Every structure is written in structure tokens, then in C-alpha cells.
């Protein structure tokens, strides 16, 4: 395997670490806003329409939290790949992923060709 450009890796690492902090904050904020996070909720006698609205809101927040947790996992895995020297290489064919692709999708694990063949 060829070496991935170190200066590019450092820029990507910095970007990913900033993104990781932002996602962690977003998850924390979403959890606070989830109506099911209110400890007094279980003991209130809300009307059925209020209850249904809270359940709907909870489902929406749960989906957003799940999406952010998936993003956090992808960021963490990308940082691990930087640490172990595999970042920027396709996990399928092991060729170097185009830097333009990584600029757009810094968490990409497949090169464009392998990604396209996976979709077929």
C-alpha cells in the first residue's frame, strides 16, 4: 500500500475530531429535548391526544438520535483507520480512495468503483 499524504490526513483528522464533538453535542441536545427524557412524564395524567403527540415526538427524536449515533460511529471508525494507517484505502479492493471523494465523504470506506458495484 502506498502511504496516504500526511498533511491531508492531519487536516482530515482535525475535521473529523471537530465533527465528532459537534455530533456528540447534537446527541446530547436531542436527548434533552426528547419528551420521554422528562422524569415527571411517567406520573402525569396527560390527555390521550397529548400522550399520542409525545409518543410521536419521541419517535422522531429517537430516529434523529439513532442517525447521529450512526454518524458518530462512522467518525470514530474513520479516526481509528487514521491511527492504524488504513484510512483512505478502500476496504474492498484496498486501492487508495480518490482524495476528491474523501473531501466530500471523509468517512468513505469504499472507492467510487466498489461503491457503485455494491449498489448493483
Is there a contact between 79 and 16 (Cβ–Cβ < 8 Å)? yes
Q: What is the pTM of this model?
A: 0.79
Of 56 and 61, more confident: 61
Q: What is the pLDDT of residues 19-47, one digit of tens each?
A: 999 999 999 999 998 877 765 555 455 55
Q: What is the pLDDT of residues 5-21, one digit of tens each?
A: 788 889 999 999 999 99
Give the pLDDT confidence score for residue 46 in this predicted structure: 54
Give the pLDDT confidence score for residue 51 in this predicted structure: 60
DSSP string, the chain: -PPPPHHHHHHHHHHHHHHHHHHHHHHHHHHHH-GGG-GGGGG----HHHHHHHHHHHHHHHHHHHHHHHHHHHHHHHHHHHHHT-TTB-TTT-PBPPHHHHHH-TT--S-HHHHHHHH-
Amino acid at each position: 500500500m502506498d502511504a496516504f499524504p500526511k498533511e491531508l490526513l492531519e487536516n482530515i483528522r482535525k475535521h473529523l475530531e471537530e465533527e465528532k464533538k459537534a455530533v456528540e453535542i447534537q446527541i446530547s441536545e436531542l436527548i434533552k429535548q426528547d419528551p420521554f427524557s422528562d422524569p415527571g412524564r411517567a406520573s402525569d395524567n396527560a390527555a390521550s391526544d397529548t400522550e399520542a403527540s409525545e409518543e410521536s415526538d419521541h419517535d422522531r427524536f429517537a430516529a434523529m438520535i439513532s442517525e447521529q449515533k450512526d454518524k458518530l460511529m462512522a467518525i470514530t471508525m474513520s479516526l481509528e483507520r487514521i491511527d492504524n494507517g488504513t484510512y483512505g484505502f478502500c476496504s474492498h479492493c484496498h486501492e487508495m480512495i480518490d482524495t476528491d471523494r474523501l473531501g466530500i465523504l471523509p468517512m468513505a470506506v469504499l472507492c467510487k468503483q466498489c461503491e457503485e458495484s455494491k449498489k448493483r
